[in-house]
Chains A and B, each alone.
Chain A
Amino acid sequence: MTGSREQILEALRKTASNGADSPTSVEPIPGAVDADHRDLIRQFTSNAEGVSTECRHIATLSEIPGAVAAYLRLHNIPHEITLAPALAHPSIGWDDHRLLRTRVGTAEANDRAAVTLAIAGVAETGTLLLASSPQTPTLLSFLPETSIVILESASIVPIYERAWQLLIDPHGQLPRSANFVTGPSRTGDIGQKLELGAHGPRRLFVIIVDEALPKES
C-alpha cells in the first residue's frame, strides 16, 4: 500500500529535525586487540565450554572422522551423519572410517546428527559464525539433535566485527542467512530452570582443526 508508505515517511520526515541527534560513536570493544593466536583459541574454547559447547582441538583434517565417531560413541548416538557438501572432501577421508555412514546434503526431519563448517569462531563469547551457501546449508545446525561443527583454528577471531568481515564475499554480498551460535539450544520457560535442547540441537560439538581445508578452485 503506497499510500501508507508515503504517509508514514511523510510523518517521519516532518519530525526528522525535531529532537537531538546523537552522532553515533561506535568505539572499539575493550580487549579487542590481537592476542597471541594460541591465547585466542584458549579464550574461544573456555568461553564455549562455559555455555555447554564441547570442544576438541586436532591437528589434521584426516583426524576429523575419528573425532566425530568417538563423540557419537560417547553419547550413544547412531553413527549416521549428514554432511555439509563443503566437507565431502577426499582429504578428510570419511570413507576410511568403516563405522561412519554419511549422507551429503541438508538436514531432514529424521537426521540424528549433522556435521557442517563454520566461517569463524569468535573468542569474545565462544561463538560460532555459520553462513548459508549451497556448500553449507543452514538447517544442518538447527534440525538434528546433535550438531557438530568444524572450525579451522586460523579463523578464530577476537570479536564479532572481525568475524563479520570474513563473511562478506569478494562481491561484497552477504549470505542469505548468517547464524551466530553460542552453545546448544536452551530454554528457561518452564519454571525458570535452564534446560538444553528446546528446539535446536541438544548438544553442540566443535572440532577445532589446525590444517586448513583445500580451497575450491
Chain B
Amino acid sequence: MDPRSLEFRQQSIAALSNPQLQTALGGIKTGWAGSRSRAALAFPDFEGLREQGRCIRDHALANVGTLLEEFERNLQLAGGRVHWARDAAEANEIIAGLCHDEKAKSITKSKSMVAEEIGLNAYLEAQGFQTIETDLGEYIIQIAGQRPSHLVGPAIHMTKDEVADLFARHHGLPRKEEGAELVGEARQILRDYYLNADVGITGANFLVAETGTIITVTNEGNAELTQGLPNRHIVLTGIEKVVPTMREAFVLLRLLARSATGQAFSVYTTAITGPKRKGDLDGPGKLDVVLLDNGRSTMIAGPFREMLRCIRCGACMNHCPVYLAAGGHAYGWVYVGPMGSVLTPNFVGIQAAHTLPNASTFCGKCEEVCPVKIPLPGLMRKLREVQHRGRHNSRTARTLMAAWGFLAVRPPLFRLANRVAGYSMRLASRGRGRADRLLLAGNWTASRSMPCPEGETFMAQWRKRRDPPA
C-alpha cells in the first residue's frame, strides 16, 4: 500500500473539522487512557515492571539472530515449519504459495499489523482467494474499504451509527440500532466464514525461542477460531517479536493489556506449540510461521533499534495530543501515532514520510507511558536531523534554523536578540501579560494567546545570582 504520509498536514486539517471523528477520539482519553492509569496504579510496582520489560526487549534485540534460530529448531521439533522473508513481496509470495498448496478458496484472518504492512489482503485477493478479517474492528474497516486508524482498535474512528449504516448496506439486513445487536449480527455472519475456511492466518504477539511457541492475544476469541478450525494455520510476524522463554513473555503480557486497554489481562492469551497431535479431536493439521524482515535488521543495526522494543499496545497514541486531534488516518500508512511517526519513515523511507517526525509537540507523554520505555521523542528528534540533512523540511524552517544557529554561536548577539524579543512581546501584550497576535505567528495565535516573558532574561538573572551585588 502506498504511503500518503506526506499529506499529513492536509489530512489532519480535514480530521479537525470532522465532528464524528473528534467525538470518537475524545472517547480514547476517558476510555483507554484513563483505564491505563488506573491499571498501572493498581499493580504493585508498575515502574519496576516497565524497567524489566525494557531489559527483556533490549536483550532479545541484541540476540535476535540466535533466538530466531533456536525458535526455528524448536518449532520444527514440534512439527511446524519456518519461512524467512526479506521483504513484503517475498512474504506475500510465500503465503500465497502455502494457500495454493492447500487448494484454498476461503481464508480467515485474525488482526495482524504486519499483514497490513505488506498489503497481504490485496495480494491474496488478486490471486483469487477470498480473505475475511475476523477481528470485529478489522472486519468493519475491510467492508468499509478503509485502513486501520489505531493499533488496538482499527475502527476506533467510526461511531456506532456509522457502523450501523455500513452493516445495513453491506449485509442487506434491517438496520440495527444497539451495539449488542450489531456485535451479534457480525458474530453470526463471521461464524460461517470460520467454519468454511481452508486456511487461517494470524499474527503473533510474541515468539518463544526455548519451546518454539507462538503467542497470540485477543479479547474477542477470533484468533482461536481463525487458527483452530481450518486445516492450515499460517502465522505472519516480524523477526523482532522473539523472546527467550515464557518467563520473559509473562512479564511482557502483564505490561501489554494494562498499557493497551487498562485490563489486567486480555481475555484470550493463547500459546501454540506445533500442529494437531495424534489423538487430538481438533486443531490445524499444518503450522507455518513466516518471519518478516522488511527493514527490521537494518533498524537493529542502526540508531533506531530501540523502536523495535515495541509490543504494539497503542498507549503512545492514546496519550498523544497530536494523534488525539488528527486521528490515525492523517498519518497516511499502517502504523500511526508516535510509534508510527518513527516506524513509518524507517519502513517506507524518509523521503516518503518526512512529515511524520514533525507530528509531535515533544510533550514526552508517549515515552512516559510506553511499557518498554521507548524514547519516542528522542527518536523523532533523530529523524528530524535526518530530515534536515536530506533537505526534506521547508525552506522557511531551514532559514529560521540557520538564523537561530547564527545567533546561538554569537553569545552577545544572542543575548541582545533575546532582550529585543522580550521587549517587543511585552509591547505587543499591552501590559496584560499575554499577546493575542504576534508577528510571523498569526496561525499560532489564531486559536490561543502567547504568554509574555516576565522580568529579565534567563542570562541576566543567572549573572545576578552568580555575582550578588555587594
Q: Do A and B come from one complex?
A: yes
User: Which A residues fall within an 8 A CB radius of B?
Assistant: 1, 4-5, 7-9, 11-16, 18-27, 29-31, 47, 51, 105-107, 109, 124-125, 127, 132-134, 137-139, 142-143, 159-161, 164, 174-193, 195, 197-201
Query: What are 21 sample pairs from A and B whose C-beta atoms fall under 8 A apart?
Result: A1-B84, A1-B85, A8-B86, A12-B64, A19-B61, A20-B58, A22-B54, A22-B58, A106-B281, A133-B280, A138-B224, A160-B250, A174-B273, A177-B224, A178-B270, A180-B271, A183-B267, A188-B219, A192-B31, A198-B220, A199-B222
List A contacts of B94 (CB < 8 A): 1
List A contacts of B228 (CB < 8 A): 138-139, 142, 177
Binds A, one of B293-301, B325-333, B342-350: B293-301
With contact pairs A25-B55, A198-B136 given, residues A187 and B183 touching in the complex (Cβ less than 8 Å): yes
Is the pair B64, A179 in contact by a Cβ cutoff of 8 Å? no
Most buried by B among A107, A134, A182, A192: A192
Is the pair A1, B83 in contact by a Cβ cutoff of 8 Å? yes
Is the pair B184, A197 in contact by a Cβ cutoff of 8 Å? yes
Is the pair A189, B153 in contact by a Cβ cutoff of 8 Å? yes
List A contacts of B69 (CB < 8 A): 9
Is the pair A23, B55 in contact by a Cβ cutoff of 8 Å? yes
List B contacts of A19 (CB < 8 A): 61-62, 300, 305
Is the pair B301, A11 in contact by a Cβ cutoff of 8 Å? yes
Binary flags per residue of B274-293, CB closer than 8 Å to A gives 1, else 0:
11110111110000000101
Is the pair B301, A18 in contact by a Cβ cutoff of 8 Å? yes
- Does B132 make an interface contact (CB < 8 A)? no
- Does B213 make an interface contact (CB < 8 A)? yes
A124 to B85, CA, bound (A): 39
A180 to B269, CA, bound (A): 5
Is the pair B293, A8 in contact by a Cβ cutoff of 8 Å? yes
Closest-by-CB residue of B relative to A137 is: B281
- Does B37 make an interface contact (CB < 8 A)? no
A30 to B186, CA, bound (A): 41
With contact pairs A11-B297, A22-B54 given, residues A191 and B159 touching in the complex (Cβ less than 8 Å): yes
Is the pair A189, B52 in contact by a Cβ cutoff of 8 Å? no
Contact among B66, B220, B244 with A24 in the assembled complex (CB-CB below 8 Å) = B244
Is the pair A180, B270 in contact by a Cβ cutoff of 8 Å? yes
Binary flags per residue of B122-163, CB closer than 8 Å to A gives 1, else 0:
000000000000111100100000000000011110111001
List A contacts of B219 (CB < 8 A): 185-188, 198
- Does B352 make an interface contact (CB < 8 A)? no
Most buried by A among B56, B83, B265: B265
- Does B179 make an interface contact (CB < 8 A)? yes
The size bracket of the interface on B is: 35 or more
- Does B254 make an interface contact (CB < 8 A)? yes
List B contacts of A178 (CB < 8 A): 270-271, 273
Is the pair B191, A109 in contact by a Cβ cutoff of 8 Å? yes
Is the pair B213, A176 in contact by a Cβ cutoff of 8 Å? no
Question: Which 9 A-B pairs give the minimum distances between C-beta atoms?
Answer: A200-B221, A191-B160, A12-B65, A30-B44, A198-B220, A189-B137, A134-B279, A21-B62, A15-B301
- Does B90 make an interface contact (CB < 8 A)? yes
Is the pair B24, A13 in contact by a Cβ cutoff of 8 Å? no
- Does B422 make an interface contact (CB < 8 A)? no
Closest-by-CB residue of A relative to B278 is: A134
- Does B195 make an interface contact (CB < 8 A)? yes
Binary flags per residue of B448-465, CB closer than 8 Å to A gives 1, else 0:
000000000000000000
Contact among B179, B220, B271, B298 with A200 in the assembled complex (CB-CB below 8 Å) = B220
Is the pair A192, B52 in contact by a Cβ cutoff of 8 Å? no
Is the pair A200, B268 in contact by a Cβ cutoff of 8 Å? yes
- Does B92 make an interface contact (CB < 8 A)? no
List A contacts of B322 (CB < 8 A): none
**Nearest chain A CB to B411's CB is how many angstroms away?**
36
List A contacts of B224 (CB < 8 A): 138, 142, 177, 179, 200
List A contacts of B159 (CB < 8 A): 191
Most buried by B among A15, A20, A47, A124: A15
Closest-by-CB residue of A relative to B276 is: A176
Of residues 153 through 203 on chain B, the ones whose CB sits less than 8 Å from some CB of chain A are 153-156, 158-160, 163, 179-180, 182-184, 186-187, 190-191, 194-195
